[in-house]
Structure 1
Amino acid sequence: MSKMKLQKFLQQLGYARRKAGELVKSGKVKVNGSVVFEPWFLVKPGDRVEIGGKVYELSTSENKRYLVLHKPAGYLTTRHDPRGRPTIFDLIDDPTLFPVGRLDKDTEGVLILTNDGDLANRLMHPRYQVERIYHALVVGIPSQKDLSKLIEGIEIWKGQFGRAKKTRIIEKFKDKSWVEVVMTEGKKREVRRLLEAVGHPVIRLIRVAYGPVDLTLVPVPGMIAEIPEKMLEELKKL
């Protein structure tokens, strides 16, 4: 990992951007034992960042880790919750890891965890078009016209548009259905908002794959596994 702004590093640890900036400006963050007040302060591999008595060491090429978590429903993808709700960090024993992107509280499935900031940024950046595959149980059965609208693009929030790369119906029931939605970026609650916009609210949402990493590695909610070397090589080529 190359140098990065201290605020960005805190964001990778799971802090919201504003909260990360506030922590630094209020003198609650130390780098290598010294208090730093500038969010733009540059940190590098090997530096030790201390927040509230907890120390996080920026990874070097020798100690990078790549894991996948089957995130259960009901867990927040954040490091701290002021309301005391469970977070994914209650399931992780390595405080240096951070999630690649986020899943909302009620969404389940694949969540990559790493301390490799360069790879995380690459996987999340829309430029690289990394596919995220979701299976959504929705109210009703979307028509082909509905599925086409998801691909064409829909306004999902005050001038913000969302679109899917691919969609298909997996299974139909009397009054609901499973729909596969393939995305290449991760706007907040985008899949839920897209499906709601075409009249099919989501009942349950599971991310079954992020690039080549899928739920076959972690079939049980709460399960964590190391990403195999061959799969990791594929991930780094995306």
Structure 2
Amino acid sequence: MTTILFHKPFGVLSQFTDARSPTERPTLSAYIDMPSVYPAGRLDRDSEGLLVLTDDGRLQARLTQPRSKTPKTYWAQVEGTPTPDQLTALQNGVTLKDGPTRPAKARLITPDVPPRDPPIRVRKSIPDAWIELTITEGRNRQVRRMCAHVGLPCLRLIRRSVGDWTLNDLPPGTWRHA
């Protein structure tokens, strides 16, 4: 069985082919030449960070099924300065259009992250901050929607860990065996 950890860069699709636009949008095949592995979960094209790929169907199911409650930790650069009330709301869970989220771990952080290409938009009149958010479910764009719900639009999103696996010092666009 093969399991690899990939640091997905911004703008890359979490799939090996793009039927819609095969020449314009980069996919995993630009970085990984291993036809037997598939992503265990997804990261949006505009998100970065850890993507676990495996040929083990049981592992893939364990990592992606909501009932397994696999923790996933994200670093979200948000517009504004989070208040204690906003962090508490994230910790308690918020109600989105598709229902309430499970409680999350949320705290302010000051991470050391590589620059993004292209860089995020910066507005001199509005500060930004980083939040570490750990969730145990994985709805579509959930972290972005949770942050927006409490008034903190997400400028940049990096998945730092899935279960016990972390990015550590894996540079964007590279992978290693788990």
| TM value normalised by structure 1 | 0.64
For structure 1, which segment, 121-130 or 159-168, has the greater mean C-alpha deviation from structure 2 after superposition?
159-168
Looking at structure 1, the residues matched to 70 and 3 of structure 2 have their Cα atoms a distance apart, in angstroms, of 17
Looking at structure 2, the residues matched to 79 and 65 of structure 1 have their Cα atoms a distance apart, in angstroms, of 17
Q: Residue 161 of structure 1: CA displacement?
A: 2.7
**One-letter amino acid of the counterpart of residue 67, structure 1:** I
| Structure 2 counterparts to residues 76-87 of structure 1, below 5 A | 76-81=13-18, 82-84=20-22, 85-87=25-27
Q: Which residue of 1 aligns with 2:116?
A: none
- Verify: 1:96 aligned to 2:36, yes or no: yes
Question: What is the aligned residue count?
Answer: 161
Q: 1:75 to 1:164 in 2, by over 3 A?
A: farther
**One-letter amino acid of the counterpart of residue 162, structure 1:** T
Q: Residue 110 of structure 1: CA displacement?
A: 0.7
Q: Which has the larger radius of gyration?
A: 1
Deviation readout 1:107-151 (Å, 9 max, x if unpaired) = 111111100001110121222221111011100111111111112
| Structure 2 counterparts to residues 36-185 of structure 1, below 5 A | 64-81=1-18, 82-84=20-22, 85-157=25-97, 159-171=98-110, 175-185=127-137
**One-letter amino acid of the counterpart of residue 150, structure 1:** L
Looking at structure 2, the residues matched to 164 and 171 of structure 1 have their Cα atoms a distance apart, in angstroms, of 22
| Structure 2 counterparts to residues 158-237 of structure 1, below 5 A | 159-171=98-110, 175-216=127-168, 218-227=169-178
In structure 2, list runs of 5 or more residues that go unmatched. Answer: 112-125
Looking at structure 2, the residues matched to 136 and 124 of structure 1 have their Cα atoms a distance apart, in angstroms, of 21
Query: Relative contact order (alpha carbons < 8 A, sep ≥ 6): 1 or 2 greater?
Result: 2
Looking at structure 1, the residues matched to 76 and 13 of structure 2 have their Cα atoms a distance apart, in angstroms, of 19
Looking at structure 1, the residues matched to 109 and 102 of structure 2 have their Cα atoms a distance apart, in angstroms, of 19
Q: Is the 8 A contact 1:164 1:182 kept in 2?
A: no
RMSD over aligned CA atoms reads 1.7
**How much identity, in percent, do the aligned residues show?**
39
Looking at structure 1, the residues matched to 42 and 103 of structure 2 have their Cα atoms a distance apart, in angstroms, of 18
**3-state SS of 1:186 partner:** coil
Looking at structure 2, the residues matched to 70 and 126 of structure 1 have their Cα atoms a distance apart, in angstroms, of 23
Q: Residue 164 of structure 1: CA displacement?
A: 4.3
Looking at structure 2, the residues matched to 190 and 133 of structure 1 have their Cα atoms a distance apart, in angstroms, of 12
Q: Is the 8 A contact 2:93 2:104 kept in 1?
A: no
**One-letter amino acid of the counterpart of residue 87, structure 2:** L
**One-letter amino acid of the counterpart of residue 2, structure 2:** R
Q: Is the 8 A contact 2:102 2:137 kept in 1?
A: no
Q: Is the 8 A contact 1:67 1:112 kept in 2?
A: yes
| TM value normalised by structure 2 | 0.84
Q: Is the 8 A contact 1:164 1:181 kept in 2?
A: no
Looking at structure 1, the residues matched to 148 and 103 of structure 2 have their Cα atoms a distance apart, in angstroms, of 14
